[in-house]
Structure 1
Amino acid sequence: MGRRRNPGRNVTGILLLDKPLGLTSNDALQRVKRHYRAAKAGHTGSLDPLATGLLPCCLGDSTKFSAFLLDADKRYRVRVRLGVTTTTADAEGEVVETRPVEGVDEERLREVLTRFTGSIDQLPPMYSALKHQGQRLYKLARQGVEVERQPRRIDIHALELTAFELPEIELDVHCSKGTYVRTLAEDIGRALGCGGHVIALRRTGVGPYLESSGPFIALDEVAALAEQENFQALDALLLPLDTALGHCPALRLSEDSAFYLRQGQPVLVPQAPTEGLVRLYDPSARFIGVGFILEDGKVQPKRLI
């Protein structure tokens, strides 16, 4: 009879990982999982290998709530090289066309940026992880195959010009989930008449987690602590899983309400909001999950620990 595999540590929390350049999101996640010796781990939305920045890694019970971060707004800092179009809309692709940028000035650029602010339709790129008949688009693209894609409605909440140093510009982007920043950069270049592609991309925020609130955790730091087997220090880097839901109002439940909610039954909670999602806590202030408000005002459990 073979030896049973070690199921891993039952550790729960969210690591705000600063994904390094050149690593896929899944590779980064697997390294975190291995360093923590975690039984379960998942990330909350892929970053291209070319991109750096925030990749929230959910360990243990946090994986049950990763969808809330997948659906959350994202923030990026992107550097764009105008005048050069590539096959992938970033620096890893082959150059397709080169055009002069002398006619582009800051005033014209700012006017173009206003056209890409608000609700817009965006055509997903061929070099993306979307599937067509079971195959990833980027795999088809590498074979020279292009398939028809449908535009998607996205929201660009803010688009701020932070550097104008032709032929390069830098933008801060605050957008909804599903936004392809490479495509946004390419479309801005096209609107300017000179083309463009991404040469550097950093994710600076996911939902409530912002780089401006404090530095993200480097993979090297995690690796060094794991080598020392300092699990106490590793676990101290994790945020409580309810921090992913900081935008939702909190509800403290009575013993009876917590019991019935755990049975899947909706309950009436005094002073509950009239709509939306709520964070649920038991009488001892322990987080037990997420609920939503029904039309009759009762709280219905959505995801419980």
Structure 2
Amino acid sequence: MILLDKPLGLSSNHALQRVRRAFDARKAGHTGSLDPLATGLLPICLGEATKLSSYLLESDKHYRVTARLGYETTTGDAEGEMSRASDVDMPTGVALDTLLAGFVGPQQQIPPMYSALKVDGKPLYEYAREGQTIERAPRPITVHSVELVEAGDGRLTLDVAVSSGTYVRTLVEDIARAWGGCAHVAALRRTRVGPLGFERPMIDLEQIESAANEDPARLGNWLQPISSLIADWPRVRLDSEQTEAVLHGQRLRGDWEAGDTLVRLESDDGLLLGLGRCEIEGELRPKRLFARPQP
């Protein structure tokens, strides 16, 4: 896995393909796309790690977002045309802190028209480009935190932690509307995805491609172990007999906690075997296994 610092103006898929070519990997996948106008952490899984990429789509995300105040746009960011304006001043001090705190917690959010969600097999953004507005049902999200970084000169910068499926563009609009104003995203940078982004540094795409052309041996310095993708998942350590059974796809019964929980399966020497699910009936079912144990 590579912790790519996606550059501005590049789609997530374009960035993914360039990393895949640099590493000469047959398989590659990412753990949740970023808009072209967003930068920051785009974890890219290579080879066996792609077996985990879909599970990381549901991870919480952390962003630093800068909103430009005064008007909304058709896309919710700087790429769109002005759609609504307001000259209502942003609150300050305790009033602003109180307003922001009101957005923390579980809530319902209506997805924006400029999104990849599909209706009748067609992405919403295609309807939007045709001038159509489709009714969208609100979806449950959770905003874990909203922290003020800077405010003034017609801009508002926040650090936010949100659940998967949260549209930061919509969150910014809703925050401004709460004081009767308007805003859109001027800059967005993702800083964390699940357990990733705490300690390990992100790598620039230019660094990767330069190393691939000039010194391919350097590429290995930036590879992260598969286990770091699920570092915060509950672990189930198996003895040699259980490991053999799991690797043959067999379900196990044991004294681990019953529930409906995804866990990381490890051998008795600490190697990662893959993913399993502890089911309500108390069985442990292999879910996604690697071709060989991973460190």
Q: Given the two structures, how large is their TM-score scaled by the length of structure 1? A: 0.90
Separation (CA, whole Å) in 2 of partners of 1:192 and 1:236:
48
RMSD of aligned residue pairs (Cα, Å): 1.6
Task: Find 2:185's aligned residue among 182, 190, 198.
Answer: 198
Whether the 8 Å CA contact 1:109–1:192 is kept in 2: the answer is no
Match of 2:293 in 1: none
TM-score (normalised: structure 2): 0.93
The corresponding residue for 1:302 is 287
Of stretches 218-227 and 136-145 in structure 1, the one that deviates more from structure 2 is 136-145
Q: Find out whether 1:226 has 2:212 as its counterpart.
A: yes
Q: Is the 8 A contact 1:101 1:167 kept in 2?
A: no
CA distance in 1, matches of 2:236, 2:176: 47
Summarize the Cα distance change of 1:103–1:131 in structure 2 as closer, same or farther, 3 Å threshold. Answer: closer
- What is the Cα deviation at residue 114 of structure 1? 2.2
The one-letter amino acid of 2:206's match is D
Equivalents in 1 of 2:221, 2:192: separation in Å?
21
Aligned residue in 2 for 1:11: none
Match of 1:260 in 2: 245
CA deviation map 1:99-129 (0-9, x unaligned): 2143632333222212211011100000001
**What per-residue deviation string (whole Å, max 9, x for no partner) do you get for residues 209-263 of structure 1?**
12x4242111011011111251x32123111112111112333322211111122
How many corresponding residue pairs?
Answer: 289
- 2:203 aligns to what? 217
Q: Does 1:102 align with 2:89?
A: yes
Q: How does 1:110-129 map to 2 (within 5 A)?
A: 110-129=97-116
Tell me if structure 2 keeps the 8 A contact 1:101–1:166. Answer: no
Percent of matched pairs sharing the same residue: 47
Alpha carbons 2:89, 2:181 under 8 Å: kept: no
Q: Which residue of 1 aligns with 2:230?
A: 245
Q: Determine if contact 1:25/1:48 at 8 Å carries over to the other structure.
A: yes
- Mark the runs of 5 or more structure 2 residues left unpaired by the alignment: 291-295
Displacement of 1:274 in angstroms is 4.4
Residue in structure 2 matched with residue 207 of structure 1 by the alignment:
194
Output the CA distance in 2 between the equivalents of 1:42 and 1:277: 20
Distance change (3 Å), C-alpha of 1:103 and 1:16: closer
Conserved? CA contact 1:68–1:245, under 8 Å:
no
The AA in structure 2 aligned to 1:56 is: P
Unaligned stretches of 5+ in structure 1? 1-13
**Could you tell me how far 1:292 is from its partner in structure 2?**
2.0
Partner of 1:139: 126
| Structure 1: 4+ residue segments shifted above 6 A | none
Q: Distance in 1 between matches of 2:76 and 2:44?
A: 27
Please state how far the C-alpha of 1:64 moved relative to its aligned partner. Answer: 0.7
